[in-house]
Structure 1
Amino acid sequence: MNTGLTEQEMRNALGLDIKAEAAPEEPEQRQVSPPAAVPKPKKRASTGLRVTLRVTREFEGEESLFIHDANTLSRFDAEQLARKAAAKEKYRFFELVSIGAIGQL
């Protein structure tokens, strides 16, 4: 498979005849500045509900307000959690006053 080309002609054809004496250029030295402080996204006020109950220890006794912050989005679950928490505080009678997002009440 003789093509009749000399080694020098092949080097010229492939672009390898450039002399290696020329030193490759050094890449520019860029000054690396520290990244700008990325502002953190604002956290929501809360993802829970605040339940307010009117509670008494005795039937028709002295009433007081009981406020419970539930970490749930279900109004039903929030009310049940508030009733359980009030029962732990020895309250026996409950009346629901309000349920709303923690940031709104």
Structure 2
Amino acid sequence: MNSELTEEEMRRALFGTPQPKEQVSTPLVLEPVPEIVFTKPAEAPLAKKKVTKAFTPRLRVTLRVGNEFEGKMTELIHEAD
């Protein structure tokens, strides 16, 4: 068996022989697109309701930082909505 194959022989071994694709040219037929216009239905103006602010929970993050093991600790607190 020949251990030195050309690139073309390797391609044929991996992918098989290339089959020529048949080129069939079909004319593109453009179908007429119906023109559609979307409109919003007329609505009666509604009275605007006053929105009351609901309770928004706050997030509180507490971080205790120290430079020594079981030594002086610094506490940082961050609050966010």
Q: Report the TM-score when normalising by structure 1.
A: 0.25
* Greater RCO structure (CA 8 Å; 6+ sep): 1
Q: Report the TM-score when normalising by structure 2.
A: 0.29
